[in-house]
Amino acid sequence: MRGVGTDATGLFNQVHQWVNAESMLSKCVVGRLDSSTLTMLASDFLANRNDQTSADRRKEDGSSALDDTETEDSTIVQSLPVDISNGTNYHRFILHSKEPINHNTRLFRFDSSHPLKVPIGHHVSFRFNVQGSHVVRSYTPVLRHLAGRDGSQDQSQANQLYFMIKIYDEGTATQLLDALKAGDYVDVSDHEGNFDVDVLNLYSEIVLLAAGTGFTPMVRLIDWALFETQDKNVRLMFFNREKKDIIWKNTLDLLAEQNPRLQVCYVLSEPQDDLWEGPVGRIRKGLLENFLPPCIDSAFCCICGPVQFVSQALENLETLKFPLRNVHAFGS
């Protein structure tokens, strides 16, 4: 009851740090309310409500005022204008190049004259025009590669953005992206997100649980931990269907071999190769309890993947007494 009658946003974020509410609720947004019109309509509504003569007369003769009230409310709701642009700023980014990462995932590079510095763990939205309607999809910027530092992947080069995107046969947005040629453009929004990488400075162990392209926010987290700090250990558990689906496996293997602070574990749900010797199945307690660091109070966990994966990960972490205040679940 601590938040009764007040704006409890800060309290909610304090207690439920792992919940990426912004990403979860973004799927439900139809637009932003025009507050100036709302004020006008609300004033008219209140003025009408103050005139109780007709309502009181109906009560006296036994008739009901309920229908009239519902009509007023519904009129107000229906009359409120909605800005379908969602109040978001978009900028034109030109496709510079795209290259295959595996059988169904591409690495896209987009350039723009408009600098767009995206914080670690934040995402942007791509907007497409499809038959007169806007289609919007969110993607997380990655790096050009993970093989150590060079000037080309300094994130201060905010006029270049890289995206690792899986192409779906039935995906409207990804089919449009895959059809782009160098020189074509897309509209890219300002960044969104509530993750603050500075929170990781409080922990020595970083646990990353990723499924499929849920690996994308982990790319820059790994880069930050290994090349911008000297005291962070990273444990990545990477879930995929088959071995061919694993993104940047050779790069991750090489990086783990060269850097003892990185530990990578691959888990396949449907291995097609009888020679596969790694873990098999889906995320579960037995896998996690052997993977988490001994001192969980010094660890912070980031999760990204399909909704069911994230839900199961949280349930298993809670069963293992991992403090959920030390968890952040990215939207998928």
> CA 131, CA 114: separation in Å to the nearest integer?
27
Is residue 221 within 8 A of residue 208, CB to CB? The reply is: yes
Question: For residue 35, is pLDDT > 80?
Answer: no
For range 202-221, the mean pLDDT: 97
For the chain, what percent of residues have pLDDT higher than 90? 63
Mean pLDDT, range 183-189, rounded to an integer: 95
Weakest mean pLDDT among 50-54, 114-118, 254-258: 50-54
Distances (CA, A) of 220 to 34, 106, 122, 142, 237: 37, 17, 10, 6, 16
Supply the pTM of this predicted model. Answer: 0.74
Angle (CA) 51 56 57, round 5°: 110
Percent of the chain with pLDDT over 70: 70
DSSP alpha helix (H) spans, 180-234: 216-227
CA pair distance 77, 65, nearest whole angstrom: 19
Query: How confident is the prediction for the chain on average, in pLDDT?
Result: 80
At how many degrees (to 10) do helices 35-50 and 66-79 cross?
160
Evaluate if residue 69 carries a pLDDT over 90.
no
pLDDT digits 0-9 by tens, 115-170: 899 999 999 999 998 888 899 999 999 999 886 655 444 544 678 999 999 999 98
Q: How much is the pLDDT for 276?
A: 92
Per the CB < 8 A criterion, the answer to whether 191 and 218 are in contact is no
